[in-house]
Amino acid sequence: MFEFQVIINGLLLGGLYALMAIGMSLIWGVTNVINLAHGALIMLGAYTTFWLFKLLNIDPFVSLAISFTTLFVFGFLVQKYIINFVIRAKMFITLLLTFGLDILITNVAQTAWTSNFRQTSPAYSANGFSFGFITVPYVRLSAFIISIILVFALYIFLKKTKTGQAIRAVSQDIDAARLMGINVAKTFALTFAIGSGLAGVAGSMIGVLMPITPQMGGIFTLKSFVVALVGGLGTIFGPLVGGLFLGLAETLGSFHLGAKYADIIVFGILVLTLIVKPTGILGKNDE
């Protein structure tokens, strides 16, 4: 029955991946910026929770809200005062810009906090419950549930609220949205802020599950991209589908082939998806 446990692990990991990718998918879908600093934002979220826990003894699940708010404000400022300046330039320029931001944030974090491995470790971090052969760790299950809640919250936000509708309008046609009286610059900044905030939440959860360093971002940027892409760009439930798919593929793959092949599987999926169906699982099939 190992196989069943592996599948459970894969699904739980998939929930975490979905949580990571929601923000990237939203920013990409609305502003057409592939945020290569996404992993760095996740890292900032992880450190926010870590320091709050270490210095003030605030429970990681309580600090989720603080982590979200901090990164929300940070993301708003980054988009408003940096990315918005060149957002209509060629794709390459925004890619280069966010890559620069990634290096900048990582290096500053490294100078401020050193490269030591750290982990947010509340007393319950290793606990879990089991039935039969299956063990389910509490923290991973919580991350999974939070991820699903956030996907649905985002869905309702985008469909029902005025701001959400403005964001969707801008993502469809900037000029038409502007004619309807929408402040495009502010909407972009808000979108980036929400995406960053979600990255912050993902980072907080990751900090409880695995050791963190300032350099951890790179791999998460790539994985978030793979998840957003595989799930289908511009679809709200894409990250969830993509996350579960990638989590399962990675866990099953490393169970059968060996853990060192995990990264090869991820990037194999990336390259194959790009070549075979760049619009992703839920995406429409037109060019």
Q: Which is nearer to other proteins, 53 or 192 (CB)?
A: 192
Min CB(260)–other proteins separation in Å: 6
Number of residues forming the site for other proteins (CB under 8 A): 47
Q: Which is nearer to other proteins, 148 or 262 (CB)?
A: 262
What's the CA gap between 287 and 282, in Å, rounded?
A: 14
**Binding to other proteins in span 156-185, by CB under 8 A:** 174, 184-185
Q: Taking CB under 8 A as the rule, which mask of x and - marks residues 47-86 in contact with other proteins?
A: -----------------------------------x-xxx
What's the CA gap between 198 and 225, in Å, rounded?
A: 15
Q: How many CB atoms lie within 10 A of CB 156?
A: 11
SS3 273: helix
Min CB(226)–other proteins separation in Å: 8
Q: Considering the rule CB under 8 A, would residue 105 count as an interface residue with other proteins?
A: yes
Q: Considering the rule CB under 8 A, would residue 285 count as an interface residue with other proteins?
A: no
Among candidate residues 271, 277, 46, 9, the one with its CA nearest the CA of residue 130? 9
The H or E element that residue 137 is part of is: strand 134-137
Min CB(25)–other proteins separation in Å: 14
Q: Mention every residue, 6+ apart, whose C-beta is less than 8 A from residue 241.
A: 230, 231, 232, 281, 282
User: Which stretch in 9-17, 18-26, 100-108, 114-122 sits in contact with other proteins by CB under 8 A?
Assistant: 100-108
Q: Considering the rule CB under 8 A, would residue 260 count as an interface residue with other proteins?
A: yes
Q: Considering the rule CB under 8 A, would residue 248 count as an interface residue with other proteins?
A: no
Min CB(217)–other proteins separation in Å: 11
What's the CA gap between 2 and 236, in Å, rounded?
A: 33
In the chain, the N- to C-terminal Cα span, in Å, equals: 44
Min CB(263)–other proteins separation in Å: 5
Q: Considering the rule CB under 8 A, would residue 264 count as an interface residue with other proteins?
A: yes
Among candidate residues 263, 261, 264, 266, the one with its CA nearest the CA of residue 243? 266
What's the CA gap between 108 and 119, in Å, rounded?
A: 19
User: Which stretch in 125-133, 137-145, 219-227, 237-245 sits in contact with other proteins by CB under 8 A?
Assistant: 219-227
Residue 113: both structure tokens together? 């906090």
Task: Measure Cα distances from 86 to 83, 97, 199, 251 in Å.
Answer: 6, 9, 23, 39
Residues that bind other proteins (CB under 8 A): 34, 82, 84-89, 91-97, 99-108, 110-111, 174, 184-185, 188, 218, 222, 225-226, 229, 260-261, 263-264, 267-268, 270-271, 274-275, 278
